[in-house]
Structure formats: C-alpha cells, structure tokens
Amino acid sequence: MGNGELKIENGELQRRKPKPLDDSAGLSDGRARDEPANSQFSILNSQLASACNAAADELTASRALIDALERDNAALKQGLEVEKQTTQLLTELDQTRKSESESLHSAITAKNEALAAKDSVIATQDKLIEALKRKKSSPWKRVGDVLIGIGLGTLL
C-alpha cells in the first residue's frame, strides 16, 4: 500500500495531532524531520500504531470475554448436568414413594387380615373352652349322680 493511499484513507487521522513514537522504532531520527514525506510517513506510522494498539487492546479484551463466556458456559453445562441428575433422582424418589405407599397399604391390609385370623383363633378357642366347660361335671352333679345310683340300687 502506498503512502498516497494511506493519506486519503486516513485523512481524518492526519488532522489529529500525532503521538510521539518510541525512538526504538527508528523512525524519528533527525534526518527524517527535515524531509516532508518522511514526516508524513512518521505521522501516519504513529497513527497506525495507535489504531493497532487500540485493536490489540480490543482483541485482548475480546479474548478475555471469550474465556469468561467459555467458563460461564462450562459452569452452565455442569449446572445442567446436576439439574438432570436431580430431576432423575426426584423421578426415582416419586416412584419409590408410590411403591412405599402401595406397600404400606398392602401391609395394612395383611395386618388387618392377620388380626381377623387371630380373632377367629380367639373365637374358636372360646368355643373350645365352652365345650370343655360343658364336658367338665361339677361336684354337685357328681353328688347327684351318686344319689341317683344309690336310689336305683335301693329300688333294685
């Protein structure tokens, strides 16, 4: 790119006061100051360096932003994974609670049946006790039987 083209494109920049360049660039020696073309080149070079410096700053900041966004994205992905695991566990918990509820209902039903069976045992045992009570004769009845026997013997 020639100097003339740069002058046209950066006409606005040329109107600004150029920043001094470092001596290490080797562009601001005493001989160049005397020559207009070299002076214009030096100014243009300075403006280019400033713009390039701004672009470099923006690039640095953009890279920092990209890094921050990537970290943010990675954290969001981790959060999403944790949420997925939580959702899975909550679904499993829901199923287990339903199963527990069904098991408890079933256990209660079985316990009621067991209680009914035990009531049946008690009722049957009561019947047995009554039968045994009927079978067992009282002392007075035995005395009566003896008296009946004596009476029958006397009659005979």
Interface residues with another protein (CB under 8 A)? 13, 19, 21-22, 24-25, 47, 49-54, 56-65, 67-69, 71-72, 75-76, 78-79, 82-83, 85-86, 89-90, 92-93, 96-97, 99-100, 103-104, 106-107, 110-111, 113-114, 116-118, 120-121, 124-125, 127-128, 131-132, 134-135, 156
The answer to whether the beta carbons of residues 21 and 46 sit under 8 Å apart is yes
Report the nearest approach of another protein to the CB of residue 19 (Å). 4
Closest to another protein by CB, 35 vs 100, is: 100
Closest to another protein by CB, 3 vs 103, is: 103
DSSP string, 22-75: PGGGS---HHHHH-HHHHHHHHHHHHHHHHHHHHHHHHHHHHHHHHHHHHHHHH
b/e per residue 101-123 (b: at least 16 CB within 10 A): eeeeeeeeeeeeeeeeeeeeeee
Closest to another protein by CB, 52 vs 150, is: 52
Report the nearest approach of another protein to the CB of residue 77 (Å). 10
